[in-house]
Amino acid sequence: MNRNLKIANSMLDLIGEIPLVRLNRIGMETGTEILVKPEFLNPSGSMKDRVAIRMIEEAEKSGRLKAGSRIVESSTGNTGAAMAFVSAVKGYDFTAFVPSDVADVCRMSIMQSFGAGVASFDVDGEFAEFTGRKRCSDIEGSDTGVWWSRQFANEHAVAAHRDTTAREIIEKTDGRLDAFVASIGSGGTLLGVGQALKEYDPKIRVIAVEPASYPMFGPHRRQSIPGISGGIADQLIESGVVDDVVRLDDEAAIAMAHRLAKEEGIFCGISSGANVAASLIVASGFEPGKRIVTCLCDSRDRYFYSEAYIT
């Protein structure tokens, strides 16, 4: 989002260039400055707009995506919404495959509002989390007019964060930060930003946040299917950019999202709450005067109907 822009050519011009916001109440006791990046200010409401536009425009450049192509992706919400938004502006047909166990009415309505098709499917069995990716793979394999963006393995998803999110963090802090904290979905944010920050200053600590109930790092790592899983998450683990991992339970993440709204006026979702709660844990191990940066991935309104979120 170029804030000096008077007339944008389309909503795509409003992606990114999001400032950092200082927390003024939460975490004050730590003596560490916590700066949050409200990525929910992106047009479709999450940081995935950066990824969607980059993946789509790289596919256009390579000739893989042409006028009239159909795009498919497996997503529980934000990537689906972002792909639907960019597809709407560019005139592509987009279908999201959403697992029924997490098919939230709000998130599906956002995708549908941008004109996307939403195909919900039942998940069961050992490799349930890969069902959506398998669907995309099958459809792409049987129809040359279909392109699957492969958010979990697409190198341009990582590059989007390396070239935009990380650049903005370095520019907007004048390069003065001590740690970057981010939760992991595909792993794209942490890998892209982590790589760029380590290249800029290897002393900046890069901290991963993951649900205590669903660890990606360590001995209880979740299972994967070769060829469908792997991708960015595996690269992240092997990259060596992650200095530490903070595990949080859902309640701590939800409670922090509530605090952010009430104490800072920041209307963000659950993983954003997790990022800030984890930042406080990281800050407690720092001497005063340090600075932590974290992202607020999406907005809270998309969780209104998730029962667990309403307390």
Ligand X SMILES: Cc1ncc(COP(=O)(O)O)c(C=O)c1O
List 18, 26, 184, 241, residue binding ligand X (CB under 6 A) = 184
Whole-angstrom distance, CA of residue 178 vs CA of residue 200: 12
**Which residue's Cβ lies closest to ligand X?**
185
Q: Please tell me whether residue 87 binds ligand X under the rule CB under 6 A.
A: no
185 binds ligand X (CB under 6 A): yes
From the list 46, 69, 75, 271, the catalytic residue is: 271
Report the residue from 269, 278, 282, 300 that binds ligand X according to the rule CB under 6 A.
269
Active site residue 271: yes
Q: Give 27 or 269: the residue with its C-beta nearer to ligand X.
A: 269
Please identify, using beta-carbon distances, which residue of 74 and 189 lies nearer to ligand X. Answer: 189
Q: Does 298 bind ligand X (CB under 6 A)?
A: yes
Q: Does 297 bind ligand X (CB under 6 A)?
A: yes
Count, residues near ligand X per rule CB under 6 A: 15
Give SS3 for 258.
helix
Separation CA 193–CA 201 (nearest Å): 12
Catalytic entry in 37, 46, 48, 272? 48
Asked if 73 touches ligand X (CB under 6 A), the answer is: no
Which helix H or strand E contains 113, and what residues bound it?
Answer: helix 105-113
Beta bridge partners of residue 245, listed in sequence order: 208
Q: Got the DSSP string for 174-221? A: TT--SEEEEE-SSSHHHHHHHHHHHHH-TTSEEEEEEETTS-SSSTTP
Tokens of 283: 């800050």
Q: Are 89 and 11 in contact (CB under 8 A)?
A: yes
- Strands of the sheet with 70-74, listed across from one edge: 117-121, 93-99, 70-74, 146-148
Any idea of the CA torsion for 66, 68, 72, 77, to the nearest 10 degrees? 100
Q: Minimum distance between the CB of residue 211 and ligand X, rounded to whole angstroms?
A: 11
Cβ contacts of 115 within 8 Å, gap of 6 or more:
84, 87, 88, 94
Q: Report the distance separating Cα 195 and Cα 163, nearest Å.
A: 10
Complex with ligand X: residue 26 or 208, whichever CB lies closer? 208
Q: Applying CB under 6 A, does 52 fall inside the site for ligand X?
A: no
183 contacts ligand X (rule: CB under 6 A): yes
Is 248:214 a contact under the CB 8 Å cutoff? no
Nearer to ligand X, 136 or 190 (CB): 190
* In the complex, minimum distance from the CB of residue 94 to ligand X, in angstroms, rounded to a whole number: 16
CB 111 within 8 A of CB 80: yes
Residue 165 near ligand X by CB under 6 A: no
- The residue among 34 and 257 lying less far from ligand X, judged by its C-beta, is 257
> Which amino acid, 96?
A
Q: Which stretch binds ligand X (CB under 6 A): 89-97, 179-187, 221-229, 285-293?
A: 179-187
Min dist CB 79 to ligand X, Å, is 6
Span of 27-35, 101-109, 186-194, 238-246 interacting with ligand X by CB under 6 A: 186-194
Q: Are strands 117-121 and 93-99 parallel, antiparallel or unpaired?
A: parallel
Verify binding: residue 80, ligand X, rule CB under 6 A. no
Catalytically annotated residues: 48, 271
Residues that bind ligand X (CB under 6 A): 77-79, 183-190, 269, 271, 297-298
